[in-house]
Amino acid sequence: MVKVTLKDGAVREFPQGTTVAEVAAALSRKLAQHAVAGKLDGKVVGLTTPIEKDAFVEILTFDDPEGRDVYRHSSSHLLAQAVQRLFPGTRLGIGPAINEGFYYDFDSEHKFTPEDLQAIEKEMDQIIKEDLPIVRREVSREEAIRFFQEIGESYKVELVEDLPEDAVISMYSQGDFIDLCAGPHLPTTGQIKAMRLMSLAGAYWRGSEKNKMLQRIYGTSFPKKAELDDYLHRLEEAKRRDHRKLGQELELYTIMEEGPGFPFFFPKGMIIRNELEKYWREQHAKAGYQEIRTPIILNRSLWERSGHWDHYKENMYFTQIDEQDFCVKPMNCPGSMLVYKNSIHSYRDLPLRMAELGLVHRHEISGALHGLMRVRCFTQDDAHIFMLPSQIKEEIMGVIDLVDRFYKTFGFDYHIELSTKPEKAMGSDEIWELATSSLEDALKSKGMDYKINPGDGAFYGPKIDFHLKDCLGRTWQCGTIQLDFQMPERFDLTYVGEDGQKHRPVMIHRVVFGSIERFIGILTEHFAGAFPAWLAPVQVRVLPITDRHHAYAQKVLAHLAERGIRAEVDDRNEKIGYKIREGQVKKIPYLLVVGDKEAENGAVAVRKYGEGDKGACGLDEFTKMLIEEIGTKKNPEKACS
């Protein structure tokens, strides 16, 4: 017998050799139906894996990230088998699971077309119906090389030859199809229920331009057709909400070929940007921050002192001034250090919170650029908090509260990740352990759920990352809190303690929006361009029915403008139905139709975006209602519909 410790801490005994699938069946029929893989002492394994000794066992379903990867990696093998059935002689590259799907790379004389994808899908369906067992077999290096050489799979031979000498080499078969793979996989092809091939692309073998260009087929798969249908719907909705498309249509912003990766903001886009910055300044002033501004270009010696020259140089831009090397700043932090260092500080001055809306530039490769989401220049809403060691926990908790307040304003849910020491890092393990435990302690004190993201910290310290969830369920990493013991040391920052001696402060780096440009892109897609009234570039458009109503329309406009409402009049010689449709296309929160009755009664006929006709009301009554909506920063109720 073997003792199996389960996720809930319970311990069960099973005969030696019991499989993971049999453990799942013993726990519940429902779990057995949904199981796709398991974990033995933290290692992901297939359901047919026998348990030979006492172990911690976890049953994985599609809802678990590791289980989802197993499901989709098995789907990639299904794709490869179908391609080789339809196009004999096709050689295989690699076929991993990726975020939201999978792909496989092929070397084929046949040039794949979108029409081919339908035929391949049909063949994949056939393989699913055949319900072929997926069988793992471990082989020697020599046997693997000989086998793949015999069937002409040169890419697999190369992969085997590059494996470490002590690597376990395994192959998986399903019917007459055999592939090199570490696994694990589903037990049979019949467990794959719903899949769709999505697109075609070119990809260099092993990502190197020196190698041959292969053909990549992307796909996705789900345990239920309803889940696949929902995913495809979300993709279509994402296209409709694409901030690049809406940015042009709503005249907000664009990227031009004269400045790839450098955004242009139009007047209406600047209104959104200015409103965000205004809100940012109000909230930071309430939280005790002082705003500063530091130069965009600073000399090389500063970046050497900060460590960016050694750890971040490939992402920086350079210039020469008076025959000396200067750098365009990729971060605001070193400038804040100089501001702090410019004065003598007492322990009574701390914590000192300095905030900056700083323009930074980073050299992103052209292939990574994407609208406002990935650019080469952007404004970071940075802040740096200089504090006593005893103030760390309280300050981190204060930042968490500030971030939470911001995101609730926009109606965002979020999750938190704690990122630990990366491979390239400054400082001792002891310092890193102290910094990481301080962040963890603050999160626990706030009662916040979080997950550990190993090795993804900044080079100077661990961090807390906030991942926003938008209307389509996508997540975006925006806010971050980074605890830093390194920079104060490098810049010799000090404060005078109660004992009259100099001491080293601790500092926090943090952002809330992250990048204002990127946050605007996220908001555009989240609201599908229908911004809440407080952010909307045009909050009200007045629509006179005929020429004789122009005078009253101008009176309404003046009334609104005097009260700080952004309004305009559509006095074109067009039918009122056309004007209404045009206002809806522009996603203006409120359209006010005015005719004889409205002019006579000092009223307006109100149409609200997404809700339609709201009826007539007095102009003063409407104005009061809108001012309250703007003041409370109310979000549209149907933003996600």
**pLDDT score at 640:** 56
Could you write out the DSSP letters of every residue in 406-445? HHHHTT-EEEEEEE---SS--S-HHHHHHHHHHHHHHHHH
Cβ atoms within 10 Å, residue 165: 5
**pLDDT score at 461:** 80
Single-letter code of the amino acid located at 157: V
Answer whether 590's CB lies under 8 Å from 608's CB.
Answer: yes
The C-alpha angle 16, 20, 24, rounded to 5 degrees, equals 115
Q: Tell me the binding residues for Zn(2+).
A: 333, 384, 509
Q: Alpha helices, DSSP H only, in 40-107?
A: 65-86
Could you say which of 91, 329, 362, 586 is catalytic? 362
Q: Do domains 67-235 and 249-289+334-526 have the same CATH topology?
A: no
CA distance 416 to 464: 7
Concerning whether 463 is annotated as a catalytic residue, the answer is yes
Concerning whether 509 is annotated as a catalytic residue, the answer is yes
Concerning whether 380 is annotated as a catalytic residue, the answer is yes
Who's near 465: CB < 8 A, 6+ residues apart? 416, 417, 418, 419, 453, 477, 479, 480
Fold of 2-61: Ubiquitin-like (UB roll) (3.10.20)
CA distance 121 to 114: 11
CA distance 307 to 312: 8
Who's near 521: CB < 8 A, 6+ residues apart? 243, 247, 371, 372, 373
Q: Tell me the binding residues.
A: 333, 384, 509
Concerning whether 374 is annotated as a catalytic residue, the answer is no
Burial class (CB in 10 A: 0-12, 13-18, 19+), 610: middle
Answer whether 565's CB lies under 8 Å from 627's CB.
Answer: yes
CA distance 298 to 382: 18
Q: Which of 628, 407, 412, 638 is nearest to 539 (CA)?
A: 628
Largest CA distance in the chain: 93
Could you say which of 72, 91, 273, 333 is catalytic? 333
Mapped onto helix, strand or coil, the DSSP state of residue 138 is strand
Q: Which of 592, 584, 590, 636 is nearest to 618 (CA)?
A: 592
**pLDDT score at 327:** 94
DSSP element (H, E) containing 600 = helix 596-601
- What torsion do the CA atoms of 226, 230, 233, 234 make, to the nearest 10 degrees? -170
Could you say which of 329, 463, 559, 607 is catalytic? 463
**pLDDT score at 637:** 62
The series of mean pLDDT values per 10 residues for the chain, 641 residues long, is: 87 91 90 93 93 92 95 97 97 94 96 95 97 95 95 95 91 96 95 96 91 96 96 92 95 94 96 97 97 96 88 88 93 94 96 97 89 95 94 93 95 92 78 85 90 81 90 89 88 95 94 96 95 97 96 97 97 95 96 96 96 94 96 76 53
CA distance 320 to 546: 62
- Specify the CATH architecture of the domain 249-289+334-526: 2-Layer Sandwich (3.30)
**pLDDT score at 639:** 56
Answer whether 201's CB lies under 8 Å from 216's CB.
Answer: yes
Could you say which of 380, 482, 486, 539 is catalytic? 380
CA distance 54 to 601: 83
Note the pTM of the prediction, 2 decimals: 0.81
Who's near 78: CB < 8 A, 6+ residues apart? 124, 127, 128, 174, 189, 192, 195
Burial class (CB in 10 A: 0-12, 13-18, 19+), 501: exposed
Fold of 540-631: Rossmann fold (3.40.50)
Whether omega before 488 lies within 30 degrees of 0, making that bond cis, reads no
Could you say which of 381, 382, 465, 470 is catalytic? 382
CATH code assigned to 67-235 = 3.30.980.10
Concerning whether 193 is annotated as a catalytic residue, the answer is no
CA-based torsion, 211, 215, 218, 219: positive or negative? negative
Could you say which of 39, 185, 384, 541 is catalytic? 384
Query: What are the boundaries of each domain within the chain?
Result: 2-61, 67-235, 249-289+334-526, 540-631
Concerning whether 333 is annotated as a catalytic residue, the answer is yes
Concerning whether 300 is annotated as a catalytic residue, the answer is no
**pLDDT score at 638:** 55
